[in-house]
Amino acid sequence: MIKLISKILSVPANDFKILIISFAFLFSIFCSYSILKPLRDALATVGALHDIKWLFMATFIFSLVAVFAGMYLSARVKRGHYIVIIFLFFTLNIFLFYIFFINYGETLWGARVFFVWASVFNLFVISTGFLLLADRFDKETSKRLFGIVFAGASLGSIIGALFTSLLSKVLGLENLLLVSALLLLMSAFLSTLILKGAKSKDLVINPKNPFNGISLILKSKYLLLIAAFILLTTAANTFLYLEQARVVKLAFASREERVSVFANIDFIVQTLSLLIQIFFTGKVAKRLGISFLLVIVPLILAFGFIVIAFTHPIFYIFVVFMVIRRVGEYAFIKPGREMAFVVLSEEEKYRTKSFFDTALYRFGDMGSSWLESLLSHIGVKVALFGGAFLCFVWAYNAFMLSRFYKRK
């Protein structure tokens, strides 16, 4: 049976075990987060829309705290323990939010705190998971297997979004938090299986200087290109996210309706992503290279922003490009970006990736949210054309990053 499945997926039998465990690992992480995400996005609409840029600023500040805490921890515990500690910490956080919402319900400040926390959770936990995989796979196996491994993320997101959409009114949004916590606990267990037998699980990176990640970035053109890629990615995503908040708040009145809409969009996105990741991402990576994975989405989004500018605020046209953006991110951008990390040294991975995926990512959110707010005060179309310009710059940066990758 294993040989048959391996043949269908074009995966060597000796890679099958680590493939399945890694697939299940990403599945549990993303299923956990996809239960939290619709609730976070719905709570983002509590209060005025101009509050969102302040939430992004708070998220950036707490992301800095989280990333430096993570750097400090990674310099003092074994690598295998580091992953488990991070996951257990955020599991405890989910239980605390469950207790809060059960006792106090939806309050303005409760919604704001949850939004900030969920945004930090999103990047920090997922970044930690991808860091583990980047450490476990080499350059060649990542090209062959990352497409299928990342399909675990899409399938987890599909199940989580579908579960939330169908059962949010039956179970209550608060009780869904318990399901999310249990899935994250499963991720912690699977991380130990991925590292089982790996020499790196007992290593501690540079314990004398846990904060040297920034200096490593500044000394490397390749790492600076990755940093610029992340900033431009977040800028495009934030411009679309703020437009999403405007359109959804106009189209749907209640929190339950918004949660259901966000969950349904997630379901469509992840279903399409899953199919592309299983059957196309690996083949595209091998035949067309990382350049195609990184460049195609920015180019499509650049034209998408222009179309949205002329059709604003039609909800369904916006949804089409939002789906294209997110499918492209899961099926092409994320696998391509994680491949870019595979070729780094162990020290570069563990000293920079958490900074990239949390503090830098949220700095991009914060900066682009203020830029979008400034442009939207002039006019929504001005902001959307600004998003198009950023996407063209993003495409050029992606092309340069792929060239450096090929030299590694």
In a domain? residue 10: no
- Whether the CB-CB separation of 328 and 296 falls below 8 Å is answered with yes
In a domain? residue 245: yes
What's the pLDDT score for residue 183? 93
**Rounded-to-integer distance, Cα 97 and Cα 179, Å:** 13
Cis peptide before 38 (omega within 30 of 0): no
- Alpha-carbon dihedral sign for residues 9, 11, 13, 15: negative
How many CA atoms within 13 Å lie on the side-chain side of 407?
Answer: 7
What is the pTM (predicted TM-score) of this model? Answer: 0.66
- Whether the CB-CB separation of 134 and 114 falls below 8 Å is answered with no
What's the pLDDT score for residue 401? 93
Which stretches in the chain have pLDDT values below 70?
A: 1-16, 42-52, 106, 138-147, 167-170, 172-173, 197-213, 251-260, 263, 270, 277-278, 282, 346-347, 350, 354
**Rounded-to-integer distance, Cα 149 and Cα 342, Å:** 14
CATH of the domain at 111: 1.20.1250.20
In a domain? residue 5: no
Smallest Cα–Cα separation from 264: which of 299, 211, 226, 316?
316
In a domain? residue 3: no
In a domain? residue 265: yes
In a domain? residue 255: yes
Domain of 55 in residue numbering reads as 16-407
What's the pLDDT score for residue 90? 92
What's the pLDDT score for residue 4? 42
**Rounded-to-integer distance, Cα 96 and Cα 99, Å:** 5
- Tokens of residue 157, six digits: 């997101």
How many CA atoms within 13 Å lie on the side-chain side of 286?
Answer: 13
- Whether the CB-CB separation of 215 and 352 falls below 8 Å is answered with no
In a domain? residue 23: yes
In a domain? residue 314: yes
Domain count, the chain: 1
What's the pLDDT score for residue 7? 45
**Rounded-to-integer distance, Cα 408 and Cα 391, Å:** 26
- Whether the CB-CB separation of 125 and 90 falls below 8 Å is answered with yes
